[in-house]
Every structure is written in structure tokens, then in C-alpha cells.
Amino acid sequence: MATRALVNAKVLVEEDFRDDLAVLLDDAGEIAALLPATQAHTQAGEVHDLGGGWLLPGFIDAQVNGGGGVLFNNDTSVAAIAAIGRAHRRFGTTGFLPTLISDDAGVMARAVAATRAAIAAGVPGVLGVHLEGPYLAPARKGTHDATRFRVPDAAETAMATSLDNGVTLITLAPEQVPLDTIRAMVARGAIVVAGHTAGSYEEIRAGLDAGLRGFTHLFNAMSPLQGREPGAVGAALEDRASWCGVIVDGVHVHPASLRVALAAKPRGKLFLVTDAMPMVGAEDPSFALYGEVITAVDGVVRNAAGALAGSALDMATAVRNCVELIGLPLQEAARMASTYPAEFLGLGDRLGRIAPGCRADLVLLDDALQVRSTWIAGAREDVA
């Protein structure tokens, strides 16, 4: 018998919502079954009424630089990863990749080691690590420190791909890195994507042929689509196999451009990321990066040079923005925050869906699409 049944919710299953289901959770933190709600009391030891809310798969964020006042670059520890996870959980994120902005090899090694230890310790939500740089293009550096950019040698490639108990995501500029290095990273199990790139269409296409799986924050910090030079954006929109992360905060990308991307890419190939900085889940709107104090003004994060420096976005707001700014139905916005990133990360067999056998990572929204509760591996936490 399942230990708990969740009832009286609009449950996102497959293509649409169902309001007549009970979601049964077992002691192992997995979804045991989906049954008619009328059977809940006979099939579970406890029945929890969810008050008619929207029950979605938990959100998965592949690009989280910080949260709760912590920036991963400044604190590469298990405690820091846990603090970032706690901050984002309040906004429905039940799985995330702590993301390291371009830094020295020693910092990278500590970030990988901390991620390995956090996963081994069972820190809720952590799925792996995202190394965003330092193998990037100076012309598209954004807020990254170009003095730290370099081409990895064999030893550094091995270090960057050494996480053995979680996902490794590496953002690089394919025109800056030998194609054989990209192939080596992929062969070692890393997911490699293009970002902060000034590459031509042909250079991006060569990277895709070498194993790139997608693109980091589509449209931002990459060569644009033009009539005679498709650039990285053109390559991304044309390629049907690759995935693209998008920052839907109303600042990084115009809603019309997002609608163009949705029309161009096969369904399921665009997914939401936050590119969040430490102010998410914290009262202080400022943080330090590379010794510079950066402050969010009216929710927009820029460095002193005026470049966007990540975001103050959370995943629940990104989902709402997909509905309100782009006009997507809630079920598709939710899949962009859960199902599609899970598939991109190679975790779609156990995350990103409300289905038997999947881990019980869930988020409950009210009618205003505000987060009320989350579950990670069946453990519930309510938002005050």
C-alpha cells in the first residue's frame, strides 16, 4: 500500500490536466500510481487534500548561479549548494545545477568536488554541475571575466568532466575550442552546449556535428541571426535535434523573439532557465562578482559596464511569464520548466513527469500560479 495519496488537485499528466486523480507516493520517494480519486482512501494510509490547486512536475533549472544571498563562484561548498537549493525551492525548483561562471581551474575543481559531495550527502535537488565557461569568446563575454578565458588542455578537460555521480553541463564557444576537445568532453559523459559565442553559422554547425547538444540562454551573448550570416541564433533555430535554454523574464529576450523560437524549434526543444543570481530568495539586491558589486535595479541585474549579469528570475515567475507574456497554456509552460529540461539533461526517465516510477518531485500552485508546496523525493515543504 502507498503511504500517501494526494487528492483534489488539477494534475498535469501527459498532455493535459486531470482533476479526478489521486497521486500515490511510496516510502521510497517515488510516484507509485495514478488512480481515480475515489480509490485514494482504500489504497493509501494517508490522504492529503491539495485544495484544488495545480499539481505540476517539479521545476528543473539547469542554470543557477546563486540564490539565498550565495554566489557559487564565491562559495564552492556543500553548504552553499544547499543554501542555493533552499532559496530556489520556494519558487518550485526541485532539481537544479549549481552554475559556475568562468573562473580559475582551482575554483572549477572545488566546484566539481563540492557538487560530488552534495549529491553524495543527499542535498535536496542538486542534480549535477554547470560550468559556464571559461572556454568562451571575448567578443560575447557578457559579465564574464575575459582574462580567465582559455583553451583547456587534456588535464583540465579531465577535471571539468570528472563528476561521477551527477550531470555535467559545459557551456563553451565552439569556435574557441578544438573540435577534438568537444568530442573528448562528450565522450567523457558531459553535455556540451554553445554559449557566449561569436561563432559563424559554419563554426556552430561544426560544433553541433562534434557533439554539442544545445545552446545556453538562446539569443543572449551569441552571434545573431542576419540575412546573410545566420550566426549562432540561426544555427540554433534551424537545428531540430538541439535544445535551447531561454530566460523568460521580459528583459533578456523580447516576447516576439521567444514566439519565433517556439515556432521554429520542434516542440520540447525550448526549456526555461533562470540564470539566477544571489538576490533570488534573499533581501539584499546586491552581490560581488570578480570583486565588483552588482545590484539589481527594478529586477534587472547589470554590471557597471551595463551588461546583463544574470537575472533576479525564479522558475515560478518564468512559468507565469510564459503564460502572460508569450500566451502559452499553463501545461506547456510547466513542461518547459520540468519535462523538457529533464529530457535535455538525460533524466527524463525519472524526472519531469507525474507518472508511476518517476521520483516524487512536485510543485503545487494556487490559482494565481504562486507556489504553495513542493515535494522532493516525496518530502513535502510548504511555502509560508
Structure-block grid coordinates of residue 121? 550527502
Is residue 24's pLDDT more than 80?
yes
Rg from Cα positions in the chain: 20
Residue 1: predicted pLDDT: 55
Which residues face 34 on adjacent strands? Answer: 23
pTM score of the predicted model: 0.97
pLDDT (mean) for 239-249:
98
Residue 283: predicted pLDDT: 93
Is residue 207's pLDDT more than 70?
yes
CB 132 within 8 A of CB 273: no
Span 286-323, pLDDT tens digits: 999 999 999 999 889 998 888 889 999 999 999 999 99
pLDDT (mean) for 175-185:
98
Is residue 265's pLDDT more than 80?
yes
Is residue 357's pLDDT more than 60?
yes
pLDDT (mean) for 360-370:
98
Structure-block grid coordinates of residue 318? 518564468
Q: What share of the chain in percent tops pLDDT 90?
A: 95
Average pLDDT, the chain: 97
Q: Which domains does the chain have, with CATH numbers?
A: 2-52+355-382 (2.30.40.10), 57-344 (3.20.20.140)
- CA 229 – CA 183 distance, rounded (Å): 26
Q: Determine if the peptide bond prior to 134 is cis (ω within 30°).
A: yes
CA distances from 95 to 65, 86, 117, 214, 322 (A): 14, 11, 16, 19, 20
Q: Which residues are catalytic?
A: 275
Residue 245: predicted pLDDT: 98
Span 73-96, pLDDT tens digits: 999 999 999 999 999 999 999 999
- CA 116 – CA 128 distance, rounded (Å): 8
